[in-house]
């Protein structure tokens, strides 16, 4: 398949606000694709190449001075091969090889094709062809039930492979996709509530558990072979040997566990999130030990537990995890839930998670079976820009421009971001220095006062609420916004939406 067919389709998708039209355009493209093109095509549609991070940056791509091809001859397969080569080129002289490879790819592409590839490599496509639309398009193209496609994608953790199976596999192949020890699945996600009492009103009788300010981990074990994966399904096993040893000591030969990990200080209290995340980087500080807590079990010794209610899974978890289980209680008492929340906060943790005891594990879904409660509202937003500081902050990039995701294009750009406020509160000197050094690598342009950024960096912002404001495009502004920390474990596609913030504003209006 020619790359130009994909570019034309994404232009069509970006030009319409109709979800059905987006689905049909992508489905038509998938029907025309050869089997070998399906997985790379899906990766390009999502701006997440199947090879993962390609190690290319905005400056390197935009610095290429190239005369592009006048005709469309570049194929999806050729692009995929070039990406493979980029990922596997390393060592002495690799920079020159990679630069030559990008130069050749750019020269063979037309100007619109290179613009598309640049944005796909940088994760900046804004077509509105997000995961939900693409899932439905795959189902439409394969004439398969959307629920079946969605479950297969969640359990495989790979939308490209799911599309390939749906479009080329034998009848019933999607139904056969199940849990496999060693293959991570997308994690179940939580909604939010202001108090444990409010959360219980949503869930009914529930397991109320500590909510840690740590890193989500999914652990797989088969015999002595252990795999540890992040919430984005990245393999970090080699970085966390102490957790590998904990898992090897559990009383199960085959097990899949969901949990969280955190670094503790000398008094047993939680260290800041950034210190925990430092263990996941290339220059991990191994002297900082991480401790795991497990709160769910998906499989044990040949038995799949995804569709079992939480009450059953917890019984199994108690036997398998033992002392490594997340603290919590099962209750339908608001008083007991509030008490545990106070206990968690007193121990230095974020709050509690309230989970319906009759709910199955919904991989990759954010429903109302799990509800997180924090004493302060926090949202994951994207940095759109930063202003140069004044006074003692002179010379540092300080005041952040914050954006919420707009998946449906309600405020203009499907899949884009809507500015919802600014803040310089909560920024330590260390963060100010880091921002000043890091932000230019994400820069699109600048004015005398502001450096504008590509929407790539996710920052966790605490707020006391939202209020109406004509100052920003979304019609609202954040109240008392302050920085809790950056979230290198999350992508911009996981940022909170403008619709979530608008719902919070409506809720506040209803209560007034």
- Contact between 146 and 139 under an 8 Å Cβ cutoff? The reply is yes
> Would you state the torsion angle of the CA atoms of residues 376, 379, 384, 388, taken in this order, to the nearest 10 degrees?
20
How far does Cα 105 stand from its chain's mean position?
Answer: 29
Known binding positions: 209, 216, 231, 260, 295, 366, 372
Distance of CA 260 to the CA centre of its chain: 16
Look at residue 47 and give its three-state secondary structure.
coil
Q: For helices 3-15 and 76-88, what crossing angle results, to 10°?
A: 100
| Bridge partners (DSSP) listed for residue 291 | 262
- CA-to-CA dists, residue 421 to 404, 414, 475, 506, angstroms: 9, 20, 10, 18
Residues 326 and 184: their CA atoms lie apart, in Å, by: 21
Closest CA to 416 of 135, 132, 112, 127: 127
Assign residue 256 a region (left: φ > 0; alpha: ψ between -120 and 50; beta: otherwise). beta
- Phi and psi of 402, rounded to 5°? -110, 135
CA atoms within a 13 Å half-sphere pointing along the CA-CB vector of 480: 7
Question: How far apart, in whole angstroms, are the C-alpha atoms of residue 165 and residue 152?
Answer: 9
Yes or no: say if 327 and 210 are a contact pair by the CB < 8 Å rule: yes
Cα angle for residues 500, 385, 382 (degrees, 5° grid): 30
Does an H or E element contain 445, and which? strand 443-446
Question: Cα 465 to the chain's mean position, in Å?
Answer: 24
What's the rounded Cα separation, in Å, for the pair 317 and 123? 38
Mention every residue, 6+ apart, whose C-beta is less than 8 A from residue 318: 325
Helices (H) and strands (E) in the chain, counts: 17, 19
Distance CA 356, CA 340 (A): 16
Q: What gap in Å lies between CA 385 and CA 7, rounded to an integer? A: 28
The DSSP secondary-structure symbol of 333 reads -
Number of C-beta neighbours around residue 78 at 10 A: 15
Task: Check 211, 422, 484, 490 and give the catalytic one.
Answer: 211
Spatial separation of the C-alpha atoms in residues 363 and 429, rounded to whole Å? 39
Q: For this structure, is 211 an active site residue?
A: yes
Binding residues for ATP: 209, 216, 231, 260, 295, 366, 372
Catalytically active residues, by annotation: 211
């Amino acid at each position: 398949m020619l790359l130009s067919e994909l570019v034309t389709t994404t232009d069509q998708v970006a030009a319409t606000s109709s979800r059905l039209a987006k689905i049909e355009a992508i489905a038509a493209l998938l029907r025309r694709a050869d089997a070998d093109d399906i997985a790379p095509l899906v990766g390009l549609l999502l701006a997440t190449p199947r090879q993962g991070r390609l190690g290319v940056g905005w400056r390197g791509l935009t610095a290429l001075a190239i005369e592009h091809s006048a005709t469309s001859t570049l194929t999806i397969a050729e692009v995929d091969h070039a990406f493979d080569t980029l990922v596997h080129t390393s060592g002495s002289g690799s920079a020159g090889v990679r630069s030559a490879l990008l130069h050749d790819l750019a020269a063979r592409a037309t100007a619109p094709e290179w613009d598309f590839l640049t944005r796909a490599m940088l994760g900046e496509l804004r077509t509105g062809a997000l995961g939900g639309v693409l899932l439905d398009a795959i189902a439409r193209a394969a004439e398969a039930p959307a629920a079946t496609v969605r479950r297969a994608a969640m359990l495989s953790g790979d939308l490209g492979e799911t599309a390939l199976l749906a479009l080329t596999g034998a009848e019933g192949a999607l139904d056969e996709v199940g849990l496999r020890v060693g293959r991570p699945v997308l994690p179940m996600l939580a909604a939010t509530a202001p108090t444990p009492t409010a959360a219980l009103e949503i869930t009914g009788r529930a397991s109320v558990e500590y909510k840690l300010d740590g890193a989500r981990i999914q652990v797989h074990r088969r015999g002595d072979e252990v795999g540890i994966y992040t919430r984005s399904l990245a393999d970090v096993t080699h970085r966390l040997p102490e957790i590998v040893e904990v898992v090897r000591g559990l009383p199960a030969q085959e097990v899949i566990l969901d949990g969280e990990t955190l670094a503790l200080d000398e008094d047993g209290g939680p260290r800041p999130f950034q210190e925990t995340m430092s263990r996941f980087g290339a220059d991990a500080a191994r002297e900082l030990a991480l401790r795991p807590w497990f709160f769910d079990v998906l499989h044990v010794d040949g038995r799949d537990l995804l569709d079992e209610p939480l009450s059953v899974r917890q019984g199994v978890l108690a036997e398998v995890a033992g002392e490594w289980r997340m603290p919590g209680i099962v209750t339908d008492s608001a008083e007991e839930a509030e008490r545990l929340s106070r206990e968690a906060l007193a121990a230095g943790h974020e709050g509690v998670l309230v989970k319906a005891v009759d709910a199955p594990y919904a991989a990759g879904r954010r429903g109302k079976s799990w509800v997180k409660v924090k004493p302060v509202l926090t949202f994951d937003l994207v940095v759109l820009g930063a202003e140069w500081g004044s006074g003692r902050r002179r010379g540092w990039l300080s005041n952040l421009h914050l954006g919420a995701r707009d998946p449906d294009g309600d405020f203009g750009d499907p899949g884009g971001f809507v500015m919802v406020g600014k803040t310089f509160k909560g920024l330590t000197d260390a963060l100010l220095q880091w921002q000043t050094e890091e932000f230019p690598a994400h820069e699109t342009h600048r004015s005398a006062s502001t450096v504008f950024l590509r929407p790539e960096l996710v920052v966790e912002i605490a707020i006391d609420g939202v209020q109406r404001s004509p100052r920003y495009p979304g019609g609202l502004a954040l109240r008392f916004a302050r920085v809790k920390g950056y979230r290198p474990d999350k992508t911009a596609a996981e940022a909170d939406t403008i619709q979530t913030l608008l719902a919070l504003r409506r809720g506040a209006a209803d209560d007034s």
